[in-house]
Structure 1
Amino acid sequence: MMKKIIKYWNQSFPTLKPKYGNLMETIGPLILGIKFIKSPYGEDYVPFFYGGVLWDHDYFQVIKYQYEVLSSSFFNIGLLNNKDSRYFIDFSDHESNIQYVDKAISLFKNHDIFIPLACNVSLDKILAFFDDYHNYLIKWGEYSSAKLALIYEMKNLILLYYNEKKLSSQLLDEIKKNRHRFYLDNSFERIVGNFDLWINSLENIDIKDLQSNINNNKKTAKSFVDYEILF
């Protein structure tokens, strides 16, 4: 059934490519797309906007997971209905209530947070997404200091990939000025570790190694449609 579901969504997002039960593309150093999370309670699923920076060596293993995941350099946002709850789509809706599925597709296409799929996107829009994502986490009670660190890490990796050293330096200064925000709960220390060691790791990323690793991962993902970030 999931193959039929993915095929139907693919008709509305024709440049995305099916991979591991998802629809994916690459944009610059990012992998983006739609992930279909099966409900553990019934015969239904929720479409998620999903993606991350292709820095992860094991990113293919991560996108295989059929549940929500917080992994280094990855994010996911579940589609919501007009009642601000998860948009569950029953498998049978693809047979008897296709209008309900089409409404989900329309909401996905016109979402005010999601990065547009299947097109070139500006760097400003990509960076703005992470600010919106941060606000989204706060609004829906999903915020944690560990997730804040994840957002900063992804922004920094993108800037360094494009050799935007000045912007990266400004971002790191912003992190240091807001050090207290990483101690509002214990998730940062539990998942990320020591703040000073973390900052030091961000300040000492080898740009050539980063670019090489991302480009190699993009070659591995060559079956995906590949777009570039615009400046």
Structure 2
Amino acid sequence: MAIDIETKKKLAEDWQNAFPHLSLYSRNKLYKVVGPIVIGLELIKLPYDDEYRPHFVAYPLWEKNLKECFDYPFILQEFHNDKNLQYNIPYKEAGKTLLGDVVEKINIQSPIKFNGDVSIHFLLHRLNQYAEKAPMLSNKNTLSFGHFLEAKMKIALYVNNEVANEILTKIKNHRWDGDHFKVFNIDVETWLAELSEEAKNPESFFQKIQMNKAERKISKLKSSGIMI
């Protein structure tokens, strides 16, 4: 069943009021910029139900254009209540007081906090915690995990080349499943060489971030920084 425009407007207002550190990107997406990434919440409709689930998301800003940046999040996490069940929230609740329990659990369970600047070491620590629990990262030698470590390296590269090189060394020494990479037409050695070159000569990396940040939909978002 399609959700009417008025309900979507009320829903967006509810979530904007509950999370004032985020900006409304669209009626079901609230984002902010943190250094070289975009983080936030997406309210994803459940198929065949008039309910939705909030998800934490994180996207890179170092791809060659904004469309590619938002192709797929490198973090996608649902939230759970005290019974470890995912939240299924009825659209009919839009315009009413958002359940305090939902907001509380989101603030506790989000891998990256929405308010204030964050240190690079604390951010990487939270990313490590996420990687240990995320189902899609359970296999540590696949392309999915490789892209996640790549994101970690590039977040570090944005503020501290030494930390980025430490992560790069771990990536290069990791045992990857080359056959799994080939399914996606990616050669492991070529991928590693490209990461090494980007860490050595990051000018293009920074240029792409600044270009994407200058896009109108990104430039209007609230933002915070990553500290060394």
2:204 to 203, 209, 231: 209
| Residue aligning to 2:173 | 177
Tell me the SS of whatever aligns to 1:56: coil
Aligned-pair distance for 1:116? 0.6
Unpaired segments ≥5 residues, structure 1: 64-68
- Mapping of residues 1-231 of structure 1, within 5 Å: 1-20=7-26, 21-60=28-67, 63=70, 71=72, 74-94=74-94, 98=97, 101-111=99-109, 113-137=110-134, 140=135, 143-144=138-139, 145-162=142-159, 164-179=160-175, 182-183=176-177, 187-191=180-184, 193-205=186-198, 206-220=201-215, 221-231=218-228
The answer (yes or no) to whether the contact 2:137–2:145 under 8 Å persists in 1 is: no
When normalised by structure 2's length, the TM-score is: 0.84
SS in structure 2 opposite 1:41?
A: coil
Aligned residues between the structures: 215
- Percent identical among aligned pairs is 21
The alpha carbon displacement at 1:45 in A equals 0.6
Pairwise CA RMSD of aligned residues? 2.3
User: What SS is found at the alignment partner of 1:45?
Assistant: strand
Q: Which amino acid aligns with 2:103?
A: I
Cα distance between partner residues in 2 of 1:141 and 1:219: 31
Rounded to whole Å, the distance in 2 between the matches of 1:86 and 1:187 is 31
Q: Give the Cα–Cα distance (whole angstroms) in 2 for the partners of residues 94 and 187 of structure 1.
A: 43
Residue 15 to residue 201, structure 1, CA distance change in 2 (3 Å)? same
Would the aligned equivalents of 1:15 and 1:118 in 2 still touch at CA under 8 Å? yes
Closer/same/farther in 2, CA of residues 57 and 202 from structure 1, 3 Å limit: same
Mapped partners of 1:17, 1:192: distance in 2: 36
> Whole-Å Cα distance in 2 between the matches of residues 135 and 3 of structure 1?
36
C-alpha contact 1:149 1:188 (8 A) present in aligned 2: no
TM-score (norm 1): 0.83
Matched residues in 2 for 1:197 and 1:187: separation?
Answer: 14
